[in-house]
Amino acid sequence: VSYFEWTQNLYQHTWDMDRVNDELSKIMTRAFTSVKDRVQAEGVTYREAAFLIGLERVAHVAELRGFI
């Protein structure tokens, strides 16, 4: 929700509570679906799947920025 507050301040928008909850729900649903799909595809735990996804995202950004 802090990200939403930052976005609203940046663009001088105001979201009502329903909009904040809807946006948060979308993000959480996408995150859970990604983790669940990884669990099913690789047979790892939910914790391991979330960790793998996070590491891949960090590695991808590091590669894009030329760090690796």
Predicted confidence at residue 37, as pLDDT, reads 99
Q: Which two tokens stand for residue 45?
A: 């735990």
- Mean per-residue pLDDT over the chain, rounded: 94
Report the number of secondary-structure helices (H) and strands (E) in the chain. Answer: 3, 0
Q: Are 34 and 51 spatial neighbours (Cβ–Cβ below 8 Å)?
A: no
Helix (H, G, I), strand (E, B) or coil at 28: helix
User: Looking at residue 12, what is its pLDDT?
Assistant: 85
Please give the pLDDT value at position 38.
99
Q: What is the pLDDT of residues 32-63, one digit of tens each?
A: 999 999 999 999 999 999 999 999 999 999 99
d(CA 10, CA 4): 10
**pLDDT category of residue 29 using cuts at 50, 70 and 90:** very high
